[in-house]
Amino acid sequence: MLFSSVNFLYYFLPLLLLVYFSVPSKWKNLVLFLFSLGFYYYGEPIYTLLLLMSSVSGYVHGLLIERCRNTRFATVPLVSSIVVGLGALIFFKYSDFFLENVNRLFDFELGLLGVVLPIGISFYTFQVLSYTIDVYRGKVSVQRNMLDFMTYVALFPQLIAGPIVRYETIENQLKERKHSVEDAYVGVKRFMVGLGKKVLIADTLAEVGMHFDSAHEASVLFYWLAAITFTLQIYYDFSGYSDMAIGLGRIFGFRFLENFNYPYIAKSVSEFWRRWHISLGEWFRRYVYIPMGGNRVNVLRLVRNLLIVWFLTGFWHGAAWNFVVWGLMYGVLLIVEKLVIKDRMESVPVVLRHAYVMFVVVIGFVLFNAGSFQEGFNNILGMFAFREAPLVNTESLYYLRSYAVVIVLGVFGSTPLLKGTLKCLRKHPFARRSLAVLEPAVIVILLLMVTGNLVDGTFNPFIYFRF
C-alpha cells in the first residue's frame, strides 16, 4: 500500500487513527502491529510470513545472546542472527544475480530461480541486525516482550522504504510514549510536506524520464534534462517518503531520526553522504566501518575499509553491476578527498566545490537509474556528445519548456531557503499569527491537490521500493 494512495489516505489511516486513539495505552502496540501487518499484507500477501519470521528470528536471537552472555558461546547466537538475516536477504535479492554471473563467467547454463524481491526486506533486515548486534554489545537491553519487538520491526511508517530505525533510538518509546494534539499536528504537517513532495513534484518530474525513454530521437540536451530531473525526482521521492514516515511516527508518539538534510547544498562528496540517506550511512558506519577500524588505521587499511563499505553500499541498493560501480565511484572519490585533496578543498571557491559535487551526483544517478551498467554508460556518453545525437532538437526543447517551472521549484525546494524564510518570519508576532492561520489552510489545499492528482494520475510507486 502506498502512502500516496486514496486507499491509504481515506480508508486505512483514518480507521487506524480511530482505533489507535480509542484503546488504552497497553493495547496501542497491538493495534499498530496488527495494522502494520495488514498494511504489508495488502502489497505482499505471501511475504508477510517472511516479515514475521524475520521478527521472530530477531526476538529469539536477542534472548539467546543475553542468555549466553559471558560464556564461551557468547558469539554463537550473534553469528547465527547475522547468518539468518543476511542469508534471507542474499537469497531473495541476489540469488539470480550470482547465478547470472556464474553462467557468464564459466559458460554454465544454470537456471535462474526467478525469486520476487520482497518489498522492504533490505530495510527491516538491517533493523533486526542492528538490534541483535547492539544487544550483544550491551548498548540496548534485550526486549522480552515479543509483541513490542515485533511492533518495532513491522512498524508500517518506515517498514518498506526507511528510514532505517535502529532499535536504540526508539527502545524507550516502545514501552512508553506520549501523545498530544501538538505532536499530532506537527506529524500531520510533516506528512503532508512529504506527500506533496512525492505526488506534486517527484511524480511530475518522473514524466520527463518516461518521455525520454519513448523519445524518437535523443539529443544531448535531452540526456542532460533526463539526468537532472531524475536527480531531483529521487530526492523528492525518497526524502518525501522519509518525511511521511517521520510525520506518521510523530502522530503515534515516535521520534524517528532525520534521514535527509539538504544534500544538494553539499560542498564535498563526504558532506553529501552525511546529508543523504543518513540512516543507511549511520548503519554502515556503526556496524561495518568502525568494527573494521574506521579511520584509525594506516592508509592501506583505510582505503580497504572505504572500498568495502562503498561496495556494500552500492550492492545494498541493487543486484546489478551499475549499483556496484556507483558505490565504488563514491568510495574512490571519498578516498581522494580524505587522502589527496583534503587540505586543498577549503581554498577552492564554494561555488566550484558545489558544482563539483552536483556534477558527480548527477553522473552517479545516471548510473543508478539505468537498467544495466551498459545502459548507464551509454547515457553518460550521450550527455557528452559521444553518441550520434544532435545537441538540441524540437522534442527536447518542448519538454524543457513544459517542465521548466517544476524544475525551478524543485531546485529551490532542495535548499533550506524556504525553511530559513519561515523561521525568520516566526520571529515576528504578526507573521507568526498569520502563519498559524495559513498553515492549516495550506495543508487542506495540499491534500485536495494531491487527491486530485491521485484520482487522475497513474500508479507511481516510490523509487526505493525496489531496494
- 1 is a domain residue: no
- 262 is a domain residue: yes
Residue 308's CB: how many other CB atoms inside 10 A?
Answer: 15
Which residues form the domain of 160? 6-177
Q: Could you say which of 150, 177, 204 is where a domain stops?
A: 177
Q: Could you say which of 151, 177, 203 is where a domain stops?
A: 177
Give the pLDDT of residue 342: 81
For 308-348, how does the pLDDT look when each residue is reduced to its tens digit (9 = 90+)?
999 999 999 999 999 999 999 999 999 999 998 887 888 89
Q: Which of 179, 277, 317, 428 is catalytic?
A: 317
H/E stretch holding 60 reads: helix 48-67
Task: Decide if 280 contacts 313 (C-beta within 8 A).
Answer: yes
- Provide CB contacts within 8 A for 256, sequence distance 6+: 157, 158, 163, 165, 169, 170, 245, 246, 249, 250
Instruction: DSSP letter for 156, please.
Output: G
Instruction: DSSP letter for 319, please.
Output: S
> Alpha-carbon torsion 436, 440, 441, 446, what sign?
positive
For residue 208, name the pLDDT band (cuts at 50, 70, 90).
very high
For 367-392, how does the pLDDT look when each residue is reduced to its tens digit (9 = 90+)?
999 999 999 999 999 999 998 889 99
For residue 44, name the pLDDT band (cuts at 50, 70, 90).
confident
- 53 is a domain residue: yes
Helix axes 220-251, 350-369, angle to 10 degrees: 90
With CA atoms as reference, report the closest residue to 13 among 188, 172, 160.
188
Residue 343 — φ and ψ, nearest 5°? -75, -20
Kindly state whether residues 155 and 207 are assigned to the same domain: no
Kindly state whether residues 140 and 276 are assigned to the same domain: no
Q: Does the pLDDT at position 360 exceed 90?
A: yes
From CA 98, how far away is CA 238, in angstroms rounded? 28
Task: Decide if 209 contacts 229 (C-beta within 8 A).
Answer: yes
Q: Does the pLDDT at position 355 exceed 70?
A: yes
Q: Does the pLDDT at position 450 exceed 80?
A: yes
Give the pLDDT of residue 336: 95
Kindly state whether residues 455 and 319 are assigned to the same domain: yes
Kindly state whether residues 160 and 245 are assigned to the same domain: no
Mean pLDDT of 223-233: 97
Percent of the chain scored above 90 by pLDDT?
A: 79
From CA 236, how far away is CA 277, in angstroms rounded? 12
Indicate the SS3 state at residue 108.
Answer: coil
Give the pLDDT of residue 425: 84
With CA atoms as reference, report the closest residue to 272 among 282, 261, 283.
261
Indicate the SS3 state at residue 22.
Answer: coil
Task: Decide if 166 contacts 278 (C-beta within 8 A).
Answer: no
DSSP H helical ranges for 141-202? 146-154, 167-175, 181-196
With CA atoms as reference, report the closest residue to 244 among 125, 366, 161, 339.
161
For residue 216, name the pLDDT band (cuts at 50, 70, 90).
confident
Indicate the SS3 state at residue 256.
Answer: coil
For 391-436, how does the pLDDT look when each residue is reduced to its tens digit (9 = 90+)?
999 999 999 999 999 999 999 999 999 888 888 888 888 888 888 8
**Interior/surface letters 141-152, b for 16+ CB within 10 angstroms, e for the rest:** ebbeeeebbbbb
Residue 292's CB: how many other CB atoms inside 10 A?
Answer: 14
Give the pLDDT of residue 458: 63
Mean pLDDT of 113-123: 91
Neighbour-count burial of 194, counting CB atoms closer than 10 A to its CB (0-12 exposed, 13-18 middle, 19+ buried): buried
317 in active site: yes
From CA 343, how far away is CA 347, in angstroms rounded? 8
Kindly state whether residues 51 and 195 are assigned to the same domain: no
What is the model's pTM? 0.93
Q: Could you say which of 117, 149, 177 is where a domain stops?
A: 177
From CA 325, how far away is CA 368, in angstroms rounded? 9
Q: Does the pLDDT at position 116 exceed 80?
A: yes
Indicate the SS3 state at residue 146.
Answer: helix
Q: Does the pLDDT at position 466 exceed 90?
A: no
Kindly state whether residues 381 and 366 are assigned to the same domain: yes
Kindly state whether residues 170 and 193 are assigned to the same domain: no
Kindly state whether residues 347 and 280 are assigned to the same domain: yes
For residue 465, name the pLDDT band (cuts at 50, 70, 90).
low
With CA atoms as reference, report the closest residue to 54 among 19, 85, 83, 33.
85
Q: How many domains does the chain have?
A: 2
